[in-house]
């Protein structure tokens, strides 16, 4: 007896769905969709920048140009020079607060856009400049309040930590002065222990900002989320820290040499008394150079670390692959790249539950958290 009756249904196991017989066309991803090593993370960052150069490179440059223009306008309107004026302390304080506010908004735009652009690039979405601005503006007020809250929490934590460290070193030096011999190990061991402690705390909170922006979390929930995602990844972060230290050293040397040469040229040409103008122009050039070199790389790497932690801890790559195969043939998908929104991740075929004890069409969305369940998930909590 055939399992399929004359009406085309499959009896107690549900009804035949036309989607079952559709062939999914082959597609490729921008980065390897599996937990990444240190080298693969750096390579994937370059891949994302090459895939979406406009949001990663052009957008930060435009934002920094806007900041420079606004700060110059504020300087002209408030009559501030580029040197500190003690006599106009009140005006200088107001100018400083306005400059800090402008810088905060600019950095927030780059942060929010960078996180969302990275996730969109991983999904294979090409973004224009207008798309990037739209991503940066979305829920910007709510995100900014949460980032301010995170900043305040960080200041409190750092203040308490620094106070504890200063107290410990004062006690250590007092004990050393009372002793007969000042051993070198008495300084090396505490310094190394302090560095190790700072690193162990720092790496556990590396992905707080991406988690807040991506998952719509508050500051405390973002801290807890980062602590959970980075659990068991000490070796990966040690390798990333060493690699980034080497790369940043090389890039910093290049930028410093370029800035020194540029500032020297402006200084020679400013013999008539326009040294402050030369300094301002050099500062703008340095800001643009940093935006073109460091901001895209650091943005892609930080957000890729977040994606990698989700792939390692929560099978995010399996979620992506699960949804991308179904969404690849949908209208609007880019040729060769899948368009996948994690919020749409769901049981595509039938959109309902056909479990062992369920009735056909029984749909219970509250029981599914938007990603496939895999063995060992509870062990990762």
Per-residue pLDDT of the chain (381 residues; tens, 9 = 90+): 444 544 555 555 556 656 555 555 555 678 888 899 999 999 999 999 999 999 998 998 888 888 888 888 877 777 655 454 555 566 677 777 888 888 888 888 989 999 999 988 888 888 889 899 988 888 888 998 999 999 899 899 888 888 888 887 787 777 766 665 555 666 677 778 888 888 888 899 999 999 999 988 999 999 999 999 999 889 999 999 998 888 878 877 877 777 677 666 655 555 544 555 566 666 666 666 766 777 888 889 999 999 999 998 888 877 766 655 444 444 333 334 444 343 333 333 333 333 443 444 444 444 444 444 443 444 444
User: Does residue 212 form part of some domain?
Assistant: no
Helix (H, G, I), strand (E, B) or coil at 9: coil
Total of domains in the chain: 1
User: Does residue 46 form part of some domain?
Assistant: yes
Provide the pLDDT for residue 309. 92
Closest of 116, 114, 112, 113 to residue 143, by C-alpha:
112
User: Does residue 326 form part of some domain?
Assistant: yes
Does residue 314 contact residue 83 with C-beta atoms inside 8 Å?
no
- Please report where in the chains the tokens 């003690």 appear, as a residue: 86
- 148 CB neighbour count, 10 Å cutoff: 13
Does residue 332 contact residue 143 with C-beta atoms inside 8 Å?
no
Rounded to whole angstroms, the Cα distance separating 346 from 365 reads: 9
Closest of 53, 164, 67, 135 to residue 107, by C-alpha:
67
Which positions ≥6 away from 271 have C-beta within 8 Å?
Answer: none
Rounded to whole angstroms, the Cα distance separating 189 from 200 reads: 16
List the domain range (segments joined by +) for residue 41.
29-155+232-337
Provide the pLDDT for residue 77. 76
User: Does residue 52 form part of some domain?
Assistant: yes
User: Does residue 141 form part of some domain?
Assistant: yes
Closest of 247, 369, 118, 74 to residue 377, by C-alpha:
369
User: Does residue 211 form part of some domain?
Assistant: no
User: Does residue 374 form part of some domain?
Assistant: no
The DSSP secondary-structure symbol of 125 reads -
User: Does residue 189 form part of some domain?
Assistant: no
Helix (H, G, I), strand (E, B) or coil at 353: strand
Helix (H, G, I), strand (E, B) or coil at 362: strand
Helix (H, G, I), strand (E, B) or coil at 190: helix
Helix axes 219-229, 140-178, angle to 10 degrees: 70
Closest of 247, 196, 221, 337 to residue 46, by C-alpha:
247
Rounded to whole angstroms, the Cα distance separating 126 from 51 reads: 7
The DSSP secondary-structure symbol of 137 reads H
Which positions ≥6 away from 90 have C-beta within 8 Å?
Answer: none
Does residue 108 contact residue 318 with C-beta atoms inside 8 Å?
no
Rounded to whole angstroms, the Cα distance separating 300 from 117 reads: 9
């Amino acid at each position: 007896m055939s399992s399929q009756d004359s009406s085309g249904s499959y009896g107690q196991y549900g009804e035949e769905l036309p989607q079952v017989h559709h062939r999914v066309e082959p597609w490729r991803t921008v980065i390897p969709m599996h937990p990444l090593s240190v080298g693969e993370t750096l390579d994937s960052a370059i891949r994302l920048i090459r895939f979406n150069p406009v949001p990663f490179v052009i957008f930060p440059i435009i934002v920094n140009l806007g900041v420079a223009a606004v700060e110059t306008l504020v300087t002209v309107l408030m009559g501030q020079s580029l040197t500190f004026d003690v006599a106009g302390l009140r005006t200088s304080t107001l100018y400083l607060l306005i400059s800090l506010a402008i810088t905060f908004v600019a950095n927030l735009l780059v942060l929010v856009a960078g996180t969302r652009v990275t996730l969109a690039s991983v999904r294979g979405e090409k973004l224009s400049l207008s798309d990037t601005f739209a991503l940066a503006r979305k829920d910007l007020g709510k995100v900014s309040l949460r980032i301010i809250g995170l900043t305040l929490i960080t200041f409190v934590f750092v203040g308490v930590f620094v106070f504890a460290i200063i107290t410990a070193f004062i006690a250590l030096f007092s004990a050393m002065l009372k002793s007969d011999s000042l051993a070198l190990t008495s300084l090396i061991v505490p310094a190394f222990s302090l560095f190790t402690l700072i690193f162990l705390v720092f790496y556990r909170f590396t992905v707080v900002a991406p988690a807040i922006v991506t998952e719509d979390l508050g500051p405390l929930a973002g801290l807890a989320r980062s602590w959970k995602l980075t659990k068991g990844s000490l070796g990966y972060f040690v390798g990333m820290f060493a690699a980034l230290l080497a790369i940043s050293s090389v890039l910093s040397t290049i930028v410093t040499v370029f800035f020194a040469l540029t500032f020297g040229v402006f200084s020679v040409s400013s013999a008539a008394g326009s040294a402050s103008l030369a300094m301002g122009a050099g500062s703008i050039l340095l800001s643009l150079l940093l935006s073109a070199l460091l901001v895209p790389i650091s943005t892609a790497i930080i957000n890729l670390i977040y994606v990698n932690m989700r792939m390692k801890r929560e099978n995010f790559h399996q979620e992506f692959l699960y949804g991308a195969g179904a969404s690849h043939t949908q209208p609007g998908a880019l040729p060769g790249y899948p368009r996948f929104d994690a919020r749409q991740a769901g049981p595509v075929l039938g959109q309902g539950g056909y479990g062992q004890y369920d009735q056909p069409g029984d749909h219970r969305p509250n029981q599914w958290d938007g990603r496939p369940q895999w063995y060992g998930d509870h062990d990762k909590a």
